[in-house]
Structure 1
Amino acid sequence: MMMLAILSTLIGGVLFIIMLIKQYRERWQMVSYLFFILGILALSPVNNIRKPIIVPPSQIVYRFDENRYILLTGYRCEGQAYFIDDKEQVYYLLAAHSWDLYTEPYRHPAKNYLSIPLSDVSAIYTSIDGGRSFRSIHLGVGHYLGNHDSPQYDVVNDQAFILGKDGQLYASEAPFGTKGWSMLSKKDQLEQKAILGRSQIIPESIPPIPSDYTGWDKMRCDYNAKGTKLPDNHTVLEVYQHLLGTAK
């Protein structure tokens, strides 16, 4: 079809010039000119001018259960993060950009209470209404857990528990939000007898995970996930070229 388009262009152009010089009827001049224009359009590279629209990949990086999950949109496992509950129609933007995964063991059977850490546990997004709203809490003053410093993060009985590799156990308040904005430390409780006036007792170990828990035990992500090319609405010229088989 490419050769046919080239021949149509050449023949149409030559005929148009001949008929114009010899002053053939205007009708035949228009026919030859039409052949020439159609050939030019068939060979036009205009469809290469537009760049394809590619959107970043979106992938579920953690499932609490069959209805609730964290959705990450971005390249190389970093980008926008959403908490989504399909059953309750809850969609909450956790981070507009630069959110990356917490890579240590993480189990979350709790329902209405949600505790979602940043990768270095510098902040913990916490909700008590099933993800309709969140606020950020932190470890206590003087405490820090960097990447790979937490062998276990479990959210059980509407309470978050973090076990550090040094054996330090942290727990969120129960009920949440009654006293302060930081996690409670077992070490501080033993040393101070009370923490900032809070008398809550932190257990010796993390409570067991319910046997019917169906969520994931770790966040996961495909680092090499590719973007998606959106379907293109072709122009009339592109449709014409595709029909002729001359589109590039």
Structure 2
Amino acid sequence: MLMRKSGRVWLLAISLSLSLSLLTGCTGTFSLKKPQKPVQVVYRFDDHRWLELKGFNCEGELWFVDQKRGIRSQAMSQFYRIFTKPYINASERYIAVPGWSISAGVLVSKDYGRTWNRAPVNFKGEEDDGSDSPAYDNIKSLTVVNDQGFLLINQGHIYMSSLPFDDPRLEPGGPGIDYTITFRGREIAHHINAVRPGARSTWGLNYIDPRILHRLVDQYYTNFQNLPDKVPEVKNYRGWTKMQCDLNAGL
């Protein structure tokens, strides 16, 4: 009786061992691996430059790649969500990447995608909700051409970055800018100092509705004068006109 019982225990042990081997791939260990975050191209500028998104549900890290120049840089470390409106980026040196939340600004690179900054979108107008930037649903498109960005809203107004150069008067060693404002019938003199040596260039880092320039100091900067009154025509564009993303990637 004891021999028969021992034999059953032995057979049960062998069966359990075989089952574990099948589950673990015969490695002798059992582990659950986290699924790898998928990487997908969400936008192509041309045949050698594109944007990659690493993450689930079309949200995550955003990377810029330029094969020709050997550039691979992180534009945003997490929580990036794609821009679903029409988008054309026809410039190489100046790159502006919009996201789901325009209130957080536009991701901007002024050195072919090597480094990235945020450019705020400044707006006060009757077409919107009174916030500092347009509501996402009110945005029609973003076009980047001639190293300048143009954010168009449904009413036809445009927020645009400055012309692609810094005001020479504000360069290190420059004289600065003198201007006057009228306050309660009195003219008051003001002065904008030149930047410190080594300070970062500021062109292209602010999107402004030209209708409110008269209320801003930016009106005195050379690169915010003689702005276009419409989005320039883009010719021979080779990239995508919208971002693309597979919500089910990696799931």
Report the 3-state secondary structure (helix = DSSP H, G, I; strand = E; otherwise coil) of the residue aligned with 2:63: strand
Structure with the higher helix share, 1 or 2: 1
Q: How far off is 1:97 after superposition?
A: 1.3
Equivalent residue, structure 2, for 1:129:
111
Q: How far off is 1:46 after superposition?
A: 7.5
Which stretch shifts more, 41-50 or 97-106? 41-50
TM-superposition CA deviations, 1:168-207 (whole Å, max 9, x none) = 2111112254568421322124x55984412422212100
Equivalent residue, structure 2, for 1:71:
52
**Aligned partners of 2:113, 2:250: CA distance in 1, in Å?**
29
Equivalent residue, structure 2, for 1:161:
150
Equivalent residue, structure 1, for 2:233:
208
Equivalent residue, structure 1, for 2:249:
225
**Aligned partners of 1:161, 1:46: CA distance in 2, in Å?**
59
Which of residues 117, 120, 136 in structure 2 aligns to 1:138? Answer: 120
Equivalent residue, structure 2, for 1:92:
73
Which of residues 6, 13, 18 in structure 2 aligns to 1:42? Answer: 18
Equivalent residue, structure 1, for 2:82:
101
Which of residues 215, 220, 223 in structure 2 aligns to 1:197? Answer: 220
Q: 1:124–1:136: 8 Å Cα contact kept in structure 2? A: yes
Identical-pair percentage: 27
Which stretch shifts more, 136-145 or 68-77? 136-145
Q: 1:105–1:218: 8 Å Cα contact kept in structure 2? A: yes
TM-superposition CA deviations, 1:89-112 (whole Å, max 9, x none) = 211112221110111110011111
Structure with the higher strand share, 1 or 2: 2
**Aligned partners of 2:238, 2:203: CA distance in 1, in Å?**
32
Q: 1:106–1:218: 8 Å Cα contact kept in structure 2? A: yes
Please provide the CA RMSD for this pair.
Answer: 3.0
Report the 3-state secondary structure (helix = DSSP H, G, I; strand = E; otherwise coil) of the residue aligned with 1:162: strand
Equivalent residue, structure 2, for 1:183:
207
1:198 counterpart letter in structure 2: Y
Report the 3-state secondary structure (helix = DSSP H, G, I; strand = E; otherwise coil) of the residue aligned with 1:99: strand
Aligned length: 198
**Aligned partners of 1:179, 1:209: CA distance in 2, in Å?**
21
**Aligned partners of 2:138, 2:12: CA distance in 1, in Å?**
72
1:118 counterpart letter in structure 2: G
**Aligned partners of 1:114, 1:180: CA distance in 2, in Å?**
10
Which of residues 73, 93, 101 in structure 2 aligns to 1:120? Answer: 101
Q: How far off is 1:116 after superposition?
A: 0.8
Equivalent residue, structure 2, for 1:29:
none
- Structure 2's unaligned 5+ residue stretches are 25-29, 125-131, 166-200
Q: How far off is 1:125 after superposition?
A: 1.3
**Aligned partners of 2:202, 2:109: CA distance in 1, in Å?**
14
Distance verdict in 2 for CA 1:223–1:179, change over 3 Å: closer
**Aligned partners of 2:112, 2:229: CA distance in 1, in Å?**
28
TM-superposition CA deviations, 1:60-83 (whole Å, max 9, x none) = 111111111110111111111111
TM-superposition CA deviations, 1:137-169 (whole Å, max 9, x none) = 111264412222211210001111111112221
